[in-house]
Chain A
Amino acid sequence: MRNKLLFGRSIDTGSWVHGVDPRAKLTGMILYLAAIVIVGSWPALGIAAAFSLAYMISTRIPLKYYAKAAKPLWVLMVFIFAVQCLTVKQGDELFRLGSWALYTGGLSSGLIAASRMALLVSFTAILTFTTTPGLLNQGLAGVLTPLRVIGISAQRLTLMMSIALRFIPTILDETHKILKAQAARGADLKEMPWKEKGKMLVSLLVPVTVSAFRRAEELVLSMESRGYVIGAPRSEYHLLSWRLRDTLFVVSYVALVAAVLSIRWI
């Protein structure tokens, strides 16, 4: 189970992408997201794919890891593909089934939409693969600093998020333990009809929630005894320094957005 949780795990290969300032990476990812949203044709998709592939290769992380990161979302991709095929009625008719017909336009936009999704998920994995959670947090705090204007503390927000992320595997493990305990008492989730399964999940939710609260309480004690005071000044273990490389990194993403935009408008 633990090994399946690729999300939030960094893989250190020491590539130059690993060394890029996390704030630059976050900004880059937002720009990438924008570019992907704009992509609407095969040439634009080609540019985005080439760009993504170049970055993925330069992280020196085997490509199969990126594929794995995108895998859990295959149902969504199939769904997006199917919706496009069913609704778009442009281009030539490929074949007909009763009152419904598949058009080339539908097939093409379905494929583009599904590839966009795959690209987005596998590419954003670069962020978590090449950045340790601590650095990512610090980067996030940096990017979110402007929120101070509306009275939100970026440091508190990121601490909250990092603790939530840190406890996901712990709580998942516990859920599995409770499931097994219930199965041992004769309530095996696998052998139940769907309606029973739903009820069972509610009875699972109670102990898991209670235990999460208990954990939170103990965590607070531990944080307090280590001198954590909300809002007190803290020094930072990870020092971020913006270099020319980081600017170039962001510029490459701006260029991607520009390229995709120009294809759309021409």
Chain B
Amino acid sequence: MEGTGLAFELQQVSFAYGPEQPVLGDVTLDILQGSWVSLVGPNGCGKSTLAKLLGGLLAVNSGSIIVEGTPLLRETVQQIRPRIGMVFQNPDNQFIGATVEEDIAFGLEGRCLPRAEMVERVKRYADKLEIGHLLAKHPAELSGGQKQRVAVAAILAMEPGIVIFDEASSMLDEKARGELLNILREMKHSGKYTMISITHDAEEIMASDRAIVLRDGRIAADLKPRDLFGDEELLDSCRLIAPYEVRLVRELCRQGIRLPAGYCGEEVAEALWQLYSNK
């Protein structure tokens, strides 16, 4: 699906909560359909605001946003919203139903789907996210990771083409974070979704196709995740820490052991094995 069209076209988008509080200024960017984009930057740089603008939850002050060819305006927002799903940070505050089943069904009811289709979708997406056994549970009986899975299932059940993750993993423990990352990877692999994730998690950024760095409401850089992690100064200005393997390669380099640049994950391990056996 990648390359078939543009999911988002932003032209000189600006936004402010008040005259003294400019949040975003002059943001221009395109996002390809089927791509996975990470939005990164220090706290307060306008990432979440940008996500809300993209999702049609806030309206731009100036500039324009075009979603899959349709301009995002007050008149079209209800028509565009079904194409965009959003997963937020706090798993508790996006759990609307009194049980998992009802929470997944909430968005479907709003679509006026017939009951048979709702039941089928609830089951299909619950199974997909491995929460099928939790359908009758109350949110107070679930862990943070489970609740976040429910949130993802509820969004995917509405079958949007675009999914925005607004720091969806930041309140989860390491294990749940890893599981969520796997879900994102699977979504990318399925080719059905354009994904935008706001995150501070190095692994998550590394897994995406493209990183857009925001600073003080402007785009500071737009590059491949590998290049982002190669640029120490940029990383520092975003208050990010590179993934372990990147730091390892860098430290080895300092110690005089040179590995070809731009390696990640398994490749680093392979290169290390080779170094060891060449000794």
Q: Which residues of A contact B (CB under 8 A)?
A: 2, 5, 8-9, 12, 132-134, 137, 162-163, 165-166, 169-170, 173, 215, 218-219, 221-229, 232-237, 239
With a cutoff of 8 Å between Cβ atoms, the chain A residues found around residue B140 in the complex are 2, 5, 169-170, 173
- Which of B52, B95, B98, B119 has the largest count of A CB atoms less than 10 A from its CB? B98
Q: When A221-B52, A221-B57, A225-B55 are in contact, do A133 and B110 touch as well, CB less than 8 Å?
A: no
Give Cα distance in the complex from A134 to B109, angstroms.
13
Q: Does B241 contact A (CB under 8 A)?
A: no
- Which of A5, A162, A223, A225 has the largest count of B CB atoms less than 10 A from its CB? A225
Would you give the 0/1 interface string for B88-124, flagging 1 where the beta carbon is closer than 8 Å to chain A?
A: 1010111111110110011111111111001100000
Contact between B107 and A227, CB atoms less than 8 A apart: yes
The distance from the CB of A111 to the nearest CB of chain B, in whole angstroms, is 37
Contact between B112 and A235, CB atoms less than 8 A apart: yes
Contact between B92 and A170, CB atoms less than 8 A apart: yes
With a cutoff of 8 Å between Cβ atoms, the chain A residues found around residue B136 in the complex are 12, 132
Give Cα distance in the complex from A85 to B115, angstroms.
56
Of all chain B residues, which has the CB nearest A9? B138
With a cutoff of 8 Å between Cβ atoms, the chain A residues found around residue B115 in the complex are 235-237, 239
Q: Which residues of B contact A (CB under 8 A)?
A: 52, 55, 57, 78, 81-82, 84-86, 88, 90, 92-99, 101-102, 105-115, 118-119, 136, 138-141, 154-155, 158
Contact between A226 and B158, CB atoms less than 8 A apart: yes
With a cutoff of 8 Å between Cβ atoms, the chain B residues found around residue A133 in the complex are 98-99, 102
Contact between B98 and A237, CB atoms less than 8 A apart: no
Of all chain B residues, which has the CB nearest A223? B96
Contact among B96, B109, B111, B114 for A163, CB-based, below 8 A: B96
With a cutoff of 8 Å between Cβ atoms, the chain B residues found around residue A229 in the complex are 78, 110
The distance from the CB of A206 to the nearest CB of chain B, in whole angstroms, is 19
Contact between B105 and A234, CB atoms less than 8 A apart: no
Q: When A134-B102, A219-B96 are in contact, do A166 and B139 touch as well, CB less than 8 Å?
A: yes
The 6 residue pairs across chains A and B that have the minimum distance between CB atoms: A133-B98, A222-B94, A226-B107, A218-B93, A237-B105, A225-B86
With a cutoff of 8 Å between Cβ atoms, the chain B residues found around residue A223 in the complex are 96, 106
With a cutoff of 8 Å between Cβ atoms, the chain A residues found around residue B78 in the complex are 227, 229
Contact between B158 and A134, CB atoms less than 8 A apart: no
With a cutoff of 8 Å between Cβ atoms, the chain B residues found around residue A222 in the complex are 86, 88, 93-94, 96
With a cutoff of 8 Å between Cβ atoms, the chain B residues found around residue A162 in the complex are 97-98
With a cutoff of 8 Å between Cβ atoms, the chain A residues found around residue B139 in the complex are 166, 169-170
With a cutoff of 8 Å between Cβ atoms, the chain B residues found around residue A9 in the complex are 138
- Which of A132, A219, A222 has the largest count of B CB atoms less than 10 A from its CB? A222
Besides A2-B141, A134-B99, A222-B86, 11 more A-B contacts (Cβ < 8 Å) are A134-B98, A162-B97, A218-B94, A222-B96, A223-B106, A226-B110, A229-B78, A235-B108, A235-B111, A237-B105, A237-B118
The distance from the CB of A142 to the nearest CB of chain B, in whole angstroms, is 16
With a cutoff of 8 Å between Cβ atoms, the chain A residues found around residue B111 in the complex are 227, 235
The distance from the CB of A6 to the nearest CB of chain B, in whole angstroms, is 12
With a cutoff of 8 Å between Cβ atoms, the chain A residues found around residue B94 in the complex are 218-219, 222
With a cutoff of 8 Å between Cβ atoms, the chain A residues found around residue B96 in the complex are 163, 166, 219, 222-223, 226
Contact between B102 and A237, CB atoms less than 8 A apart: yes
Contact between A227 and B81, CB atoms less than 8 A apart: yes
Q: When A134-B99, A226-B96, A234-B110 are in contact, do A221 and B88 touch as well, CB less than 8 Å?
A: yes
Give Cα distance in the complex from A234 to B106, angstroms.
9
Of all chain A residues, which has the CB nearest B111? A227
Contact between A226 and B154, CB atoms less than 8 A apart: yes
List 20 A-B pairs, Cβ < 8 Å: A2-B141, A132-B99, A133-B102, A134-B101, A134-B102, A162-B97, A170-B140, A218-B88, A221-B88, A222-B88, A223-B106, A224-B81, A225-B81, A225-B84, A225-B85, A227-B107, A227-B110, A235-B108, A237-B101, A237-B115
Give Cα distance in the complex from A245 to B81, angstroms.
43
Contact among B85, B99, B114, B154 for A235, CB-based, below 8 A: B114
Give Cα distance in the complex from A234 to B155, angstroms.
17
With a cutoff of 8 Å between Cβ atoms, the chain B residues found around residue A239 in the complex are 115
Contact between A165 and B110, CB atoms less than 8 A apart: no
Q: When A218-B90, A221-B88, A225-B84 are in contact, do A132 and B98 touch as well, CB less than 8 Å?
A: yes
Of all chain A residues, which has the CB nearest B113? A235
With a cutoff of 8 Å between Cβ atoms, the chain B residues found around residue A233 in the complex are 112
With a cutoff of 8 Å between Cβ atoms, the chain B residues found around residue A137 in the complex are 98
